[in-house]
């Protein structure tokens, strides 16, 4: 019983550490941040998650190199527009009209058709 309680405490501490420290560490140490989502781009859930991460990661930090942001929609339909520029523009117009993401990322691209396109979309 005591071992089980200790395991549960350790599990909670680990979960908290991953939620609290991993996003900040990943953002600060990465050249590219990839956000994989199944949420429709019509809702703001993906944007809200990215903003929550970068605001928390930038607390008490100054003068960092801004990474690139790639958002991949993992449940797209064959009828969706796969043009990276058009999809990026539409996403930013819908959710980031004030340009807030540009304060945290050097390049922003949304929805990648193929994994090999990831490198090409950063140009």
CA 48 vs. chain centroid, Å, equals: 9
Tally of structural domains, the chain: 1
Domain housing 6: 2-121
Pick the more confident residue, 47 or 17: 47
pTM over 0.95: no
Q: Summarize pLDDT for 21-32 with one digit per residue, the tens.
A: 887 888 888 899
Q: Summarize pLDDT for 82-111 with one digit per residue, the tens.
A: 788 988 999 999 999 999 999 999 999 987
Q: Cα angle at 70 between 72 and 110, to 5 degrees?
A: 60
Query: What's the chain's average pLDDT?
Result: 81
* Distance, CA of 32 to CA of 108 (rounded, Å): 10
Q: Report strand pairing: 108-110 vs 32-37.
A: unpaired
The DSSP result for 12-54, as a single string, is HHHHHHHHHHHHHHHHHH-SEEEEEE-S-TTSSHHHHHHHHHH
Cross-strand bridge partners of residue 72? 36
* Distance, CA of 76 to CA of 116 (rounded, Å): 17
């Amino acid at each position: 019983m005591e071992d089980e309680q200790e395991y549960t405490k350790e599990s909670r501490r680990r979960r908290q550490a991953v939620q609290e420290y991993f996003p900040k560490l990943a953002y600060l140490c990465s050249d590219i941040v990839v956000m994989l989502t199944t949420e429709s781009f019509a809702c703001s859930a993906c944007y809200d998650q990215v903003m929550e991460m970068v605001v928390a990661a930038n607390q008490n930090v100054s003068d960092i190199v801004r990474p690139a942001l790639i958002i991949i929609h993992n449940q797209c339909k064959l009828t969706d527009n796969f043009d990276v520029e058009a999809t990026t523009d539409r996403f930013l117009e819908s959710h980031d009209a004030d340009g807030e993401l540009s304060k945290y990322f050097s390049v922003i691209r949304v929805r990648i058709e193929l994994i090999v396109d990831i490198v090409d979309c950063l140009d």
